[in-house]
Amino acid sequence: MNDTLKATEEQMAYAKLLDIGMKLGMLSLVVTFILYVFGILTPHIPVSDLPKYWSMPVKQYLEATGIHPGWAWLHMLNRGDFINFLGIAFLSGVTILCYLRIIPILFKKKDTVYAVLAIIEVLVLTLAASGILRGGGH
């Protein structure tokens, strides 16, 4: 393969950060799940009670368990079930970090259109992550 076939600078930067982020996210997911499932950290919902809740629609589940949606889990990280959200949030957020990584590269290369596209994508994903948008429940 000759040099012209190498992925672009921004593509490589994106890939490297994604690789690190994905591995960190997976690792934290596994570690926090072990803390949860082996009872090292006490969960908000006892695991033996879970079958009572997992067949409920989400709105009913939130009401029955007293869980607040959005980023409220950040205040419950001492609970075995909620600490798992660290890994989940990290995996769901790593793409935003990758986009932030390539924006300066795109501007440096004067690829303004793609830099703007990347900025808009960051805004879209940040809006989704913000918790402002709610599905309403049923």
Partner 1 sequence: MSGKNSKIMSLAVILVVMMLAAGSVFASGDPAAATAPAAANSTMPWWGWPAILFVVTFVMGIVAVLGGVGGGVLFVPIIGGFFPFHLDFVRGAGLLVALAGALAAGPGLLKKGMADLRLALPVALIASSCAIVGAMIGLALPTNVVQTALGGTILGIVAIMLMAKKSEYPDVPQADNLSTALRISGIYHEVSTGQDVNWKIHRTPQGLATFIIIGVMAGMFGLGAGWANVPVLNLMMGAPLKVSVATSKFLLSITDTSAAWIYVNNGAVLPMLVVPSLIGIMLGSLVGVKILATTKPAAIRYMVIGLLLFAGTRALLKGLGIWN
132 phi/psi in degrees, rounded to 5:
-70, -35
* Shorter beta-carbon distance to partner 1: residue 91 or 107: 91
70 makes contact with partner 1 (CB under 8 A): yes
Nearest to 96 by CA among 65, 66, 119: 119
129 makes contact with partner 1 (CB under 8 A): yes
133 makes contact with partner 1 (CB under 8 A): yes
| d(C-alpha 37, C-alpha 66), whole Å | 21
| Minimum distance of partner 1 from residue 11's CB (angstroms) | 4
114: exposed, middle or buried (C-beta count within 10 Å: 0-12, 13-18, 19+)?
A: middle
Check: CB of residue 62 under 8 Å from CB of residue 99: no
Number of chain residues interacting with partner 1 (CB under 8 A):
75
Segment 5 to 64, residues that bind partner 1, using CB under 8 A: 5-8, 10-12, 14-16, 18-19, 21-22, 25-26, 29-30, 32-33, 36-37, 47-58, 60-62
| Minimum distance of partner 1 from residue 75's CB (angstroms) | 14
Percent helix, strand, coil in the chain, to 5, is 70, 0, 30
Check: CB of residue 86 under 8 Å from CB of residue 32: yes
Per-position x/- string for 76-115, each x denoting binding to partner 1 as judged by CB under 8 A, each - no binding: -----x--xx--xx-xxxxxx-----x----------xx-
Options 3, 38, 66, 136; binder of partner 1; rule CB under 8 A: 136
